[in-house]
Amino acid sequence: MADAVVAAAKEWPWPDSLDALVAAPEFHTLIFENEYVRVVHTHIAPGKAVPVHTHRWPCVLTIRSWSDLVRRDENGSVLGDTRQCPPPELNHPIWQQSLPPHSVENVGGGVIDTVQVEIKCDL
């Protein structure tokens, strides 16, 4: 598995400075990390915008509280607006692929609170 981690790290095209914990530390907190997984807590208050960042590894995402959001790419183009979708199920783990550079804006009235268990391997 260590070889897979090294291979994934070499193939990631974006700089480490865009990693969520580096580029947006006000919104992302490290809970746990070892050579296999990284657990990140994300907290976005209403009206806040998270700067452009990446999530290098795919993860199991658990949404603990929800608010509508707009996700944009690194150029500001809208990738998604949850106001046009039904809300997700809370506390139900879902799979999420790695995310290239993007920003997130909480456009709802609640807090976005998630925990991601990132899988540090080449999937």
d(CA 41, CA 2): 24
User: What total of structural domains would you count in the chain?
Assistant: 1
Token pair listed for 49:
């915008």
Element (H, E) at 22: helix 20-23
The arithmetic mean of pLDDT across residues 80-84, rounded, is: 95
The arithmetic mean of pLDDT across residues 54-83, rounded, is: 97
Residue 2 pLDDT more than 50? no
The domain that holds 23 is classified in CATH as 2.60.120.10
d(CA 68, CA 20): 20
pTM: 0.88
Give the range of the structural domain holding residue 115, as residue numbers without chain letter. Answer: 2-119
Angle CA 73–27–109, to nearest 5? 85
